[in-house]
Amino acid sequence: MPIIKSAKKRVIQTLKRETRRKPFKSRMLTMVKNVFKLIKGGKVEEAAQSLPDTYTAIDKANKKNIIHKNTAARKKSAVQKAVTAALKESGTTAPAKKAAPKAAAKKAPAKKAAPKSTAK
């Protein structure tokens, strides 16, 4: 254990940060591992459907500085590459994307107030 006060504080800070970051990294690694397990098990369609959730987990870990942005890009690329190769091998196509809902109509811009007349 550290003896100096600042070193003790650093230990506490490190433990707090570790516990705060652990769920995000764990979820990301689990999602990536599950995609590869599904591909290995021959459930390619399920793997393709779980891609968006996997991407979300990777992006959240990246956003919270748990992994570097290049590491996130590399993981996403590897997962996508594996799913695409498995889809080609099985002869199926990727599941069709759902139609995106239309954006809500924008509100009309607020009217500008009339300029005040100056007294002479």
Domain boundaries in the chain? 24-90
Q: Give the CATH number of domain 24-90.
A: 1.20.58
Whole-structure pTM over 0.75, yes or no?
Answer: no
Has residue 8 got a pLDDT over 80? yes
Give, in order, the Cα–Cα distances in Å from 42 to each of 17, 33, 39, 97.
Answer: 38, 14, 5, 21
pLDDT in tens, 73-97: 999 999 999 999 999 988 776 655 6
Mean pLDDT for the chain overall: 90
The average pLDDT across 40-59 equals 95
